[in-house]
Homo-oligomer: A and B are copies of this chain.
Amino acid sequence: MTTIYDIASKANVSKSTVSRVLNHHPYVSEKNKQKVWQVIEELNYTPNALARSFRFMRNKTIAVIIPNLYHSFFSLLASGISKELRAQGYKTVISESFYNAENEKVILEMLKFKEIEGIILCSIENDWEFIEEYLNYGPIVLCNEFHEEATIPVICYDERGATAEALNHLLNQGHTRIGFCYDVSDSPLQKMRQESYEQFRDHDFQETKKWFYPECFTIKDGMNVVKNLVKHPQNDRPTALFTGNDYVAAGVIKELKQRGLDVPREFGVIGYDDHQICLATHPTISTIHIPIDQLGVYTAKTLIKTLSENKPLQREVKTFEGKLIIREST
């Protein structure tokens, strides 16, 4: 392995001079500069990133924790974040928590060991008090996840607004019994959606709880919701579903059609995410468009700013707007 020492020997200068040349330090004679670059070329030298990391005590690596890479929303979010971080010279380690606190902890520990410089949390699995401890070791920011007290930047989109928009739309279409499919019940984000949903009680929503469908992640889950739903008499089941993601909506629509229920005439469906699958179903899916890219870029920028300016984190809630896209399913 060639080191600056080898360059120095061959160029008849000191290590210091080589280092200066490499770092474009102003005080190097033109002659030496030329010579050193020439030898660097000759010996095909590359600076050793491991030594630099050690020297500066930072390795330009950020971890992004997402629930999984299975759902395209998360993979796109991770992709957006990663792209921006790369542009700024950072490496990104994408880690799936699978909604598991222990997996999340593994990454938090990496911060302590200086394996990473900072963390972007796209879901919260441990208690905030637990996570807070790790702020001693590096910055953590929240993205696409909300927390009431967390004393760190929170980048999310307007859950309540989007939910309200979707529900209003369904009400306008004449639906009064609206069901709600979500994934995991203990996420602060999902709770916001639920609360937002519950605020619509006054519109004949007396028995909302009955129409909460948890653990909905996939197309199959959506199908199962319908399979169970149709077991109830027509006047005791929802006439519309607001689902946590478009896959679930697609499953719902597929199963409704299978059972001869017409969408949107007999049943309304709204998805979430504006995934391309919305176009493949029949009817196409009304949904909420989330500006994933903006979320990712803003989050990455926020974290990098903290890192480079080396200033302490502080709470700052940045909200992006979702947008209702009306298609054929409502």
A165 at the interface (CB under 8 A from B): no
A147 at the interface (CB under 8 A from B): no
A: which residues have CB within 8 A of B?
46-51, 53-54, 57-59, 61, 68-70, 72, 75-76, 78-79, 82-83, 86, 91-96, 110, 112-115, 218-220, 223, 247, 250-251, 253-254, 257, 276-277, 279-282
Contact B276 A254 (CB under 8 A): no
Most chain B CB neighbours (cut-off 10 Å) among A112, A115, A280: A280
Contact pick for A53, options B59, B79, B93, CB 8 Å: B59
Provide the residues of chain B in CB contact with A83, threshold 8 Å. 96
Contact B72 A218 (CB under 8 A): no
Contact pick for A251, options B53, B59, B280, CB 8 Å: B280
Contact B94 A49 (CB under 8 A): no
Contact A219 B276 (CB under 8 A): yes
Nearest Cβ on chain B to A327's Cβ, whole angstroms: 13
Nearest Cβ on chain B to A112's Cβ, whole angstroms: 5
Nearest Cβ on chain B to A107's Cβ, whole angstroms: 10
Contact pick for A113, options B47, B61, B78, B254, CB 8 Å: B47
Apart from A48-B114, A68-B79, list 17 A-B contacts with CB within 8 A.
A46-B113, A46-B114, A48-B113, A53-B54, A59-B59, A61-B91, A69-B78, A70-B75, A70-B79, A79-B96, A83-B96, A91-B115, A92-B94, A218-B276, A254-B280, A254-B281, A280-B280
CA distance A247 to B59 in the complex (A): 38
Provide the residues of chain B in CB contact with A82, threshold 8 Å. 94-96
Provide the residues of chain B in CB contact with A54, threshold 8 Å. 50-51, 53-54
Contact A113 B277 (CB under 8 A): no
Contact A251 B277 (CB under 8 A): no
Closest to A51 in B: B54
Contact A69 B59 (CB under 8 A): no
Provide the residues of chain B in CB contact with A72, threshold 8 Å. 70, 72, 75
CA distance A59 to B113 in the complex (A): 12
CA distance A186 to B309 in the complex (A): 45
Provide the residues of chain B in CB contact with A51, threshold 8 Å. 54
Contact A50 B276 (CB under 8 A): no
CA distance A86 to B106 in the complex (A): 10
Provide the residues of chain B in CB contact with A78, threshold 8 Å. 69, 94
